[in-house]
Amino acid sequence: MSRTVATFALAALILLSVGLWAISGGMTGSKEEIGMLAIGLILVGFGVYRGFERVRSAVRKEPYEDELSRRTRTKSASLSYYISLYLWLFIMFMSDRTTMENHTLIGAGIGGMAIIFLGSWIWVKAFGLKDE
Amino acid sequence: MNNRLKELRARKGLSQLELAQKVGVRRETIVFLEKGKYNPSLKLAHDVAKVFGEPIENIFLFDDEAAH
């Protein structure tokens, strides 16, 4: 239960921080900012969804984690690791050809890795693990 | 691998959630098993077989053609 509360608290904290940042005039509305904001919101949405899954499991009196969810997570992680290698290769290639600063590129890489993990997780959920 | 899970569950009058609770997994796992999207561990196959009182090989049918 404490992990569920922590998930929702973290999501609320991120939304609050972004909201305060936007209200205080920190946002310039550049493409990079909007991109990072979109990635952040997608990840917060994923966190909230996982939180609701935990609540639903508790209501149904079923375990939150079982062999399928563990294997789904492991498979998604390994798949996203391989894909992320290509993302970093692309970022290295782009680093000499763009005016973006290093910390922005690293931030994009980390955000990209999270999005790739989310994509892999959705892929595994949609197509299953029948050949594992 | 195919399975007769849906048929046996219906015959026994169990819902997916009830079967999931009996074998200690999430309902989603039973859904994945019935759709053939997941091959269970030996322990889960054993637990499911125990619920239905059938040998494992009568529930989970290994397709030799698909394996080669």
Residues of A in contact with B44 (CB under 8 A): 67
Tokens read off for A124: 């595994």
Looking up tokens 């269970």, which residue turns up?
B40
φ, ψ of residue B15 in degrees (nearest 5) = -85, 165
Residues ≥6 apart with Cβ < 8 Å to B2: B36, B60, B61, B63
Note whether B56 contacts A: Cβ–Cβ < 8 A. no
Q: Nearest by CB to B21, which of A61, A127, A132?
A: A61
CA dihedral for B24, B28, B29, B31, sign (positive or negative)? positive
In this predicted complex, what is the ipTM? 0.84
Residue A48 · residue A8 · CB < 8 Å: yes
Residue B2 backbone zone (phi > 0: left; psi -120 to 50: alpha; other: beta)? beta
CB contact under 8 A, A130 and B39: yes
Percent of chain A's residues with pLDDT above 70: 98
Tell me which of A18-22, A64-68, A117-121 is least confident. A18-22
Of residues B48 and A40, more confidently modeled: B48
Tokens read off for B61: 């049918």
Question: What angle (nearest 5°) sits at the alpha carbon of residue A4, between those of residues A107 and A47?
Answer: 30
* pLDDT value, residue A39: 85
Separation between Cα atoms, residue A108 and residue A97, nearest integer Å: 15
Residues of A in contact with B26 (CB under 8 A): 57, 62-64, 66, 68-69
Residue A132 · residue A68 · CB < 8 Å: no
Q: What is the pLDDT of residues B18-45, one digit of tens each?
A: 999 999 999 999 999 999 899 999 999 9
Local confidence band at A88 (pLDDT 50, 70, 90 cut-offs): very high
Residues of A in contact with B36 (CB under 8 A): 128, 130
DSSP secondary structure, A59-128, as one string: HHT--S--HHHHHHHHHHHHHHHHHHHHHHHHHHHHHTS----HHHHHHHHHHHHHHHHHHHHHHHHHH-
The model's pTM = 0.82
Distance from CA of B36 to the nearest CA of A (A): 7
Residues ≥6 apart with Cβ < 8 Å to A53: A64
What is the count of residue pairs from A and B with beta carbons less than 8 Å apart?
A: 50
